[in-house]
Amino acid sequence: MRYLPRKAAALVLAAGMLIATAAHAGRSCEQKKPSVHTIERGLALAERTMAALDASGNSVVVLARAGQDLSKYGVHYSHLGFAYRQPNGQGGHVWRVVHKLNHCGTNVAAIYRQGLGEFFLDDLWRYEAAYAAPAPQVQERLLALLRDDIRAVKMHHRPYSIVSYAWGRKYQQSNQWAIETLAAAMEPAVDSRMQAQAWLQLRGYQPAMLRLDALTRLGGRISAANVAFDDHPFEKRFSDRIETVTADSVFSWLERSGLAGRPAFLQLKP
């Protein structure tokens, strides 16, 4: 029998999910028992990420993983959330991740607060991570919001589509929740998704534009409950232009706007 290192095993302890149910975002929803190799690789990436975050001196970062192969759409990282440093009550600290996850096989989602181990504990497409450190003032405001259970879910909208329109409000995918929450943290007057999106537009956020042909769109809508295109403007949808929020576009915008620095990348050897 193979055992996980004690330090790595400790990484899987959750900080207490806000809602407990099977969920996913930016990763496969296939129900299968993870292998020992998969668990060890996920925990190794979590441990390496923890060491990098500790060494960085930051209190909050925007953290992404590569859960699905989206390369045909020009997308590298599939999902992001906010990782923040939390005192453990014993003179040390732990890292928690607040992010939005889709309930498997449904068109709804919830906000979770997890440990780094859980964030990476899956059969990822690539065992890679990326993180961007926000500017000090941004970190301060984000940290106050993330530690507050009520404020952390204020921008959450339960209906979910993995390709939700970046400027729409019928659905909300995981990366979209993250930047709308960032807007709420930075601007106290933001009290709705509409106001959050107005702030994002004012600060120059540009969504990714995915090229999806009609057959791809039709197949996705029929076969998956968490895929919908009816919130996209008619003229864009039928010209195969799907504008949505990707982790890659968020990293580019954060650096371009000065809200965060250049992303750092972590990768396990094959």
Domain boundaries, the chain: 9-267
For position 235, what pLDDT does the model report? 87
Going by C-alpha positions, the residue among 14, 25, 164, 195 that lies closest to residue 97 is: 14
For position 6, what pLDDT does the model report? 36
For position 63, what pLDDT does the model report? 98
For position 31, what pLDDT does the model report? 58
Strands (E), the chain: 23-24, 60-66, 79-87, 93-103, 109-115, 126-132, 208-211, 241-244, 264-267
Cα separation, 45 vs 162, whole angstroms: 25
Collapse the DSSP code of 227 into the 3-class scheme (helix H, G, I; strand E, B; otherwise coil) and give the result: coil
Q: What is the pLDDT of residues 201-214, one digit of tens each?
A: 999 999 999 877 64
What is the percent of the chain with per-residue pLDDT over 70, rounded to a whole number? 83
Cα separation, 204 vs 178, whole angstroms: 16
Cβ burial, residue 266 (10 Å; 0-12/13-18/19+) = middle
- Which residues of the chain carry a pLDDT beneath 70? 1-32, 122-123, 213-223
List residues bridging with 241 in a β-sheet.
211
Cα separation, 85 vs 73, whole angstroms: 33
For position 220, what pLDDT does the model report? 47
C-beta neighbour count of 21 within 10 angstroms: 12
For position 128, what pLDDT does the model report? 94
Cα separation, 59 vs 61, whole angstroms: 7
Cβ burial, residue 37 (10 Å; 0-12/13-18/19+) = exposed
Largest separation between any pair of C-alpha atoms in the chain: 58
CB neighbour burial string for 219-235, b if at least 16 within 10 angstroms, e if fewer: ebeeeeebbbbebbeee
